[in-house]
Structure 1
């Protein structure tokens, strides 16, 4: 494994090692997905410090960096999904990795979250709302539905008394599933998801439906279609070589809860114990306040009924090192026909506002924007930051559209003037 790690180091730095046999157990390729964050931070002295370490569950450095160095499956969309779900090119094979490999992981996580590498980490306590201020937020970034096509919000939690799902046995997977679903299918969650619904209606309809992972993966799958149509589907990594992500018992003990309105899903034991995804209304895709309010109300109930892993430095921990801290990840699909004409400028505009940016592969003027920072700030601050940043991007798009309209109007005015002059002559 040490020789494999040496090859990994060379791959991440764009070099090939001639001293290591190519018959090694793991085949590496310099053409694999190598993230710039990882290449920048895996320095020789750090690498030599951590390469001999293993966690309590016997995971080593390769188990963290493999997405950036291993040859990937050739399935369509696998690479894109991996880059979106794991933008840092690393995974946390267990919770202990954050402590055992702290010298390696902390600088990467800080850099990604715009935190000075020399700054001491201290994540603030949870703060979704101030009083009742965000219980029903009316903030809609695009009331006219001209720019925002859809909006989603993810958040992740792991139970304090259990290992991550990939390390659980059959009985433990069942127990975690039972603990979580008993809360999700209860009245408290129903009241949180539908605050304006009567007690009688809640009694009759409940909060939602739980589907096992086998029901989701079957073909055709009613649950999967429902999730996909509402933007609630996450990468499931249901591939032959999925043991590195899921462990040896996939898909047993996994599933997804879907709310009655199909606007919220809670994935259970898929990489993390809970991964909550909620989507904006199709008639109000820019209603970012509604999805934040929905998550806020749900998390109040979950926090009262379950205890989650929380690190005073890194906040809530996840199998995805890019989703620690408050773990909130907003994603807005937007149409920006004028800003997209200068893609490099748009990328810069997003970067300076703390937004992630990716192009849609289907259409030329559609982009996906999201918040990058979720560490070192409260949930409330995260919501306010992305609201301000996206509103600013929309205003820039409007300004460009107006400038273009004025330019076209000026051209037509000049044409008419020339025609009048020609006629008078």
Structure 2
């Protein structure tokens, strides 16, 4: 179970809520200047703290060293939003711990010594914050964090100093995109310290009308203030998206439904489907499910299909030939099967 196949609040617009904490050890240089011995030492210390008997969180964590993972397995962790692309590029002295439900992961020696993240389905920012705080406290009970009384938690990147916290909400915003409102929203959010990124965070595109809304600054505000500010913004965006959806449907219901069913028809009958096409069509199908137009499919099923259609997940199907055309063919077949049409 994970955020992918569990239903959460406001799931008609919000896919998931995530809280991430950046932490460093007080007695060790930042990862950017560490040697191999120091990197391995940090990995072992974090592993022992989480997997040891003194860890106060009663949960099972799987420990994975990045060096031992295949390229496909690394990418699968990224596609599930359990790990960052930057962590997967580390050749030595990097690891990740993932809990059994796949809602919490602990990245070791990415940009900081420790990157904790908790990701919950739907709109559950406060729940994710409470959970990750418990994990953070359990680690801090055993390992000394780099902390300054005036600045707060010390991090490799100055923009993370302070709380070291990034809170984000992944949202499906097809109506705001279609009506051209996203540009103004992006400009407004930037003025209040909120940043907007694509599906896989910093540097990624907002394909499939999916956006990540998160706080920009961590210094000078408490964790509670960051959560509260993002809460206000996220709920306003949810309301505007809902209003825009109903306005589009009211304005021309026949055209609105035709766009959705054309996307559904393509996804259930196409023989080849590129990733960008897949994500854009799935956005329309997701909208149809969210608006009650397409029956017998739930949001969890759409989330699962979104992840299953990513490149590394497709390669899990035992492809002997993973060239682009073959991947596109398998993606089309998976989409048709998941949406209830056998090719």
TM-score tier, shorter chain, comes to 0.5 to 0.7
Structure 1 counterpart of 2:239 = 395
Judged with a 3 Å threshold, the aligned counterparts in structure 2 of structure 1 residues 380 and 237 are, in CA distance, closer, same or farther, namely: closer
Aligned equivalents of 1:353, 1:344: Cα separation in 2: 15
Equivalences for residues 71-90 of structure 1 within 5 A? none
TM-score (ref. length: structure 2): 0.62
Aligned equivalents of 1:164, 1:142: Cα separation in 2: 37
Structure 1 counterpart of 2:193 = 354
Matched residue of 1:338: which SS? helix
Structure 2 counterpart of 1:236 = 86
Kindly name which structure, 1 or 2, has the bigger radius of gyration based on alpha carbons. 1
Match of 1:219 among 71, 75, 85: 71
1:186 aligns with 2:52: yes
Contact persistence 1:165–1:269 (CA under 8 A): yes
Match of 2:100 among 260, 265, 276: 260
Q: Following TM superposition, by how much is the alpha carbon of 1:392 offset from its aligned partner in structure 2, in angstroms?
A: 1.5
Q: Following TM superposition, by how much is the alpha carbon of 1:231 offset from its aligned partner in structure 2, in angstroms?
A: 0.8
Q: Deviations over 1:152-195 (max 9, x none)?
A: 22211111111112333333333222221111112454x5365x
Aligned equivalents of 1:152, 1:193: Cα separation in 2: 21
1:160 aligns with 2:46: no
Matched residue of 2:108: which SS? strand
Judged with a 3 Å threshold, the aligned counterparts in structure 2 of structure 1 residues 182 and 351 are, in CA distance, closer, same or farther, namely: same
Matched residue of 1:319: which SS? coil
Q: Deviations over 1:126-161 (max 9, x none)?
A: xxxxxxxxxxxxxxx972411112332221111111
Contact persistence 1:354–1:371 (CA under 8 A): yes
Contact persistence 2:83–2:107 (CA under 8 A): no
- TM-align CA RMSD: 2.8
Between Structure 1 and Structure 2, how many residues are aligned?
Answer: 241
Structure 2 residue runs of 5 or longer lacking an equivalent are 1-6, 200-204, 254-343
Q: Following TM superposition, by how much is the alpha carbon of 1:265 offset from its aligned partner in structure 2, in angstroms?
A: 1.4
Q: Following TM superposition, by how much is the alpha carbon of 1:214 offset from its aligned partner in structure 2, in angstroms?
A: 0.8
Structure 2 counterpart of 1:288 = 125
Q: Deviations over 1:364-423 (max 9, x none)?
A: 5322211112111111221222112211211222233344455558xxxxxxxxxxxxxx
Q: Deviations over 1:14-61 (max 9, x none)?
A: xxxxxxxxxxxxxxxxxxxxxxxxxxxxxxxxxxxxxxxxxxxxxxxx
Structure 1 counterpart of 2:280 = none
Aligned equivalents of 2:175, 2:10: Cα separation in 1: 18
Structure 1 residue runs of 5 or longer lacking an equivalent are 1-140, 195-206, 240-249, 410-425
Equivalences for residues 10-409 of structure 1 within 5 A? 143-189=9-55, 191-192=56-57, 194=59, 207-216=60-69, 218-221=70-73, 224=74, 227-236=77-86, 251-280=91-120, 284-340=121-177, 341-359=180-198, 361=205, 363=207, 365-405=209-249, 407=251
